C-alpha cells in the first residue's frame, strides 16, 4: 500500500483543485486500491499540527472547475520555519513526526515561492517530496508558466475592459491596481490585454513626471481618457534607490492606503484632471480556473503522480516551452522569476506606445 500526503500552501489561486484532482486521479489509475491519499489541512500548518485526513476517491470528483482549495491553505513563512516561537514548537521536527506517524511514502506539495523553499527544506531533511508550482504572480523560478496566472489575467483584463467604458464616457483618468508585490507579470499581461496606456511594474521604477507627460500627450492628442495598470508593488525611482529598511519606513509613513492612491493624488495635483482608483484585490485570485489553467493544472497533476510513481523525489514539475519537465527543488528554492526589463512583452508594449513611466 502506498500512502501519499497532499497539501496546498501559501495564497490560494485558481486551478489548485484541478491540480489536486490531477495528482489523485492519476495515482488511482496507476495503483487502484493500492494507494491511499491523505489530505493535509491548511498547508504546512496541518503538517505541523498533525491535521491530516484520509481522502476518499469521491473527494476528488466534481472539483475541476472549483476555485480555492478543498484542502485549505495558510501562510507559514519559510524564514520562521526553523525558528522556535512562543508556542515552543519545533516546526520542522513536528512536520517530520507527522509524516512518520501517518506512515506516508511521499508528500505532494502545491504552492508558490515560499512553499517551494519549505518543500526543499523537507527534501533536505530526508522527506520524499514532489511539488507543483502555483500562483497568480507567475513568479516561481523554473516554469515558464504557473497555474492561476492566466485566470487572474482574465479577471484583471475584465476589470480594465469595464473601466474602459466608464473612463471613455466621463473622460477621466483611471488607475487600476493589479496584484503583484515584487513581480509584475500579472499587471504586464493584463495591462497589454486590457489596452492600458501606462503600465507600472515593480521591476521598472517610475518617474511621476514621465507618467504625467504621457497623460498630457494623450490629452493633446484629443484622447478623452487614460488608463493606468499599476502593480501593487510599483515604486518610484527615488524609492528604488532606498535601502530595504528606508523603503519600508517610507511606506509606513505613506498617508495613502496603497501606491495607486498616492499616484492618484500626485497626478491630480500635477494635471488638475479627475482621477479614480479601482482595486480589484483578492477578486483576482477567486473563482473558477480558466480553460488554460485547467489544462495546465491537470498536466502538472498527472506529471507529479508520475514522479511519485518513479520515486523521482525532490523535484518540482514545470512547463518549459511546451513540455512538462522536472526541476530539482534545490535549483528552485530562494529564486524569483521577475519580469526582465527588456523582455519581448515589455518591448512589444513599448512599440505600441505604452508607457512604463521610466
Active centre residues (catalytic): 137
CA atoms of 206 and 227, how far apart (whole Å) = 16
Q: Are 44 and 74 in contact (CB under 8 A)?
A: yes
Q: Distance between CA atoms of 212 and 181, rounded to whole angstroms?
A: 23
Shortest spacing between CB 148 and ligand F6P, in angstroms: 8
Residue 12 Cβ vs ligand F6P, minimum distance, rounded to whole Å: 8
Cβ atoms 204, 356 nearer than 8 A: yes
Asked if residue 356 lies in contact with residue 337, where contact means CB atoms within 8 angstroms, the answer is no
Question: How far apart are CB 273 and ligand F6P at their closest, in Å?
Answer: 28
3-state secondary structure of 175: strand
Alpha helix stretches (DSSP H) within the chain: 16-31, 44-49, 91-101, 113-124, 149-170, 185-193, 208-220, 237-240, 244-253, 259-271, 291-309, 329-332, 344-351
Strand partners, 226: 173
Q: In the beta sheet, which residues pair with residue 7?
A: 109
Q: Please state at what angle helix 259-271 crosses helix 208-220, rounded to 10 degrees.
A: 50
- In 3D space, the residue among 177, 189, 138 whose CA is nearest the CA of residue 14 turns out to be 138
Q: Which is nearer to ligand F6P, 113 or 302 (CB)?
A: 113
CB of 249 to ligand F6P, least distance (A): 20
Quote the least distance from Cβ 3 to ligand F6P, whole Å.
30
Q: Which is nearer to ligand F6P, 73 or 236 (CB)?
A: 73
**Residue with C-alpha cell 483576482?**
284
Q: Closest residue (Cβ) to ligand F6P?
A: 179
For ligand F6P, the closer CB: 42 or 137:
137
Is the distance from CB of 199 to CB of 346 less than 8 angstroms? no
CB 115 within 8 A of CB 328: no
Kindly list the residues in this chain that would bind ligand F6P in the complex (CB under 6 A): 11, 75, 112, 135-137, 179-181, 232, 285
What is the closest distance, in whole angstroms, from the C-beta atom of residue 11 to ligand F6P in the complex?
A: 4
Amino acid at each position: 500500500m502506498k500512502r501519499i500526503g497532499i497539501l496546498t500552501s501559501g495564497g490560494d489561486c485558481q486551478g489548485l483543485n484541478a491540480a489536486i484532482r490531477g495528482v489523485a486521479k492519476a495515482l488511482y489509475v496507476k495503483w487502484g486500491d493500492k494507494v491511499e491519499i491523505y489530505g493535509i489541512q491548511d498547508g504546512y500548518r496541518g503538517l505541523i499540527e498533525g491535521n491530516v485526513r484520509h481522502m476518499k476517491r469521491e473527494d476528488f470528483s466534481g472539483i475541476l472547475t472549483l476555485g480555492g482549495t478543498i484542502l485549505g491553505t495558510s501562510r507559514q513563512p519559510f524564514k520562521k520555519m526553523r525558528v522556535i516561537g512562543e508556542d515552543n514548537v519545533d516546526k520542522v521536527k513536528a512536520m517530520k513526526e507527522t509524516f512518520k506517524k501517518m506512515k506516508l511514502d511521499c508528500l505532494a506539495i502545491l504552492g508558490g515561492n515560499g512553499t517551494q523553499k519549505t518543500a526543499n527544506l523537507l527534501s533536505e531533511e530526508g522527506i520524499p517530496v514532489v511539488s507543483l508550482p502555483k500562483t497568480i504572480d507567475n513568479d516561481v523560478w523554473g516554469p515558464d508558466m504557473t497555474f492561476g496566472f492566466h485566470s487572474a489575467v482574465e479577471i484583471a483584463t475584465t476589470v480594465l475592459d469595464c473601466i474602459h467604458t466608464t473612463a471613455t464616457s466621463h473622460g477621466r483618468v483611471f488607475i487600476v491596481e493589479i496584484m503583484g508585490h515584487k513581480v509584475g507579470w500579472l499587471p504586464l499581461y493584463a495591462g497589454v490585454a486590457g489596452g492600458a496606456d501606462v503600465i507600472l511594474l515593480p521591476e521598472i521604477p517610475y518617474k511621476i513626471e514621465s507618467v504625467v507627460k504621457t497623460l498630457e500627450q494623450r490629452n493633446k492628442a484629443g484622447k478623452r481618457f487614460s488608463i493606468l495598470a499599476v502593480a501593487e508593488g510599483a515604486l518610484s525611482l527615488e524609492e528604488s534607490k532606498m535601502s530595504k529598511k528606508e523603503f519600508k519606513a517610507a511606506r509606513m509613513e505613506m498617508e495613502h492606503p496603497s501606491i495607486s492612491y498616492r499616484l492618484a493624488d500626485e497626478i491630480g495635483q500635477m494635471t488638475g484632471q479627475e482621477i479614480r482608483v479601482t482595486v480589484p484585490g483578492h477578486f483576482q485570485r477567486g473563482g473558477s480556473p480558466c480553460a488554460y489553467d485547467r489544462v495546465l493544472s491537470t498536466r502538472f497533476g498527472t506529471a507529479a503522480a508520475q514522479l511519485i510513481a518513479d520515486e523521482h523525489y525532490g523535484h518540482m514539475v514545470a512547463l518549459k516551452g511546451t513540455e512538462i519537465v522536472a526541476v530539482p527543488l534545490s535549483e528552485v528554492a530562494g529564486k524569483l522569476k521577475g519580469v526582465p526589463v527588456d523582455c519581448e512583452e515589455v518591448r512589444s508594449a513599448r512599440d505600441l506606445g505604452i508607457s512604463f513611466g521610466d
